[in-house]
Amino acid sequence: MPALPSTPSVPARPWWRIPLVRELAVVVLIKLAVLLVIRAYWFAAPTVPVDGTARVAERLLGSATPNPVSLEENRDDLRSGR
C-alpha cells in the first residue's frame, strides 16, 4: 500500500488576522458607535409635557361639555370685529 503524501502543516491563523473578519468587525463597531451617539442625542431624557396626563385623557375621552363653534359664527365674528 502506498504511503499517503503528507500535507504540509499550515499554522492556523487567529480569527482576527483574517482581513474579512477585521473589516466586518470595524464596520460593526462603527455602526454601534453611531447608534449609541443617536441614542444619546435623541433619547437622553424623556420629554413629558406639562399636564400631559390630563391632555391625553381629554383627547381620548373627550371633553365633558363640547362647545363646537361653527365656521359661519367664526366668520361673522371676524367680520364684525368682535
Please answer whether residues 21 and 15 qualify as being in contact, where contact means their C-beta atoms are separated by less than 8 angstroms.
yes
- Top pLDDT among 74 and 59 is at 59
C-alpha cell at 47: 420629554
pLDDT at 25: 95
13-62 residue pLDDT tens = 888 789 999 999 999 999 999 999 999 988 887 777 788 888 888 888 88
- Residue ranges per structural domain of the chain: 15-45
Measure the CA–CA gap between 82 and 75, rounded to whole angstroms.
10
**Would the pLDDT of 75 be above 80?**
no
Total H helices, total E strands in the chain: 3, 0
Closest residue by Cα to residue 13 from 22, 24, 25, 26: 22
C-alpha cell at 22: 477585521
Measure the CA–CA gap between 29 and 41, rounded to whole angstroms.
18
pLDDT at 20: 93
pLDDT at 58: 87
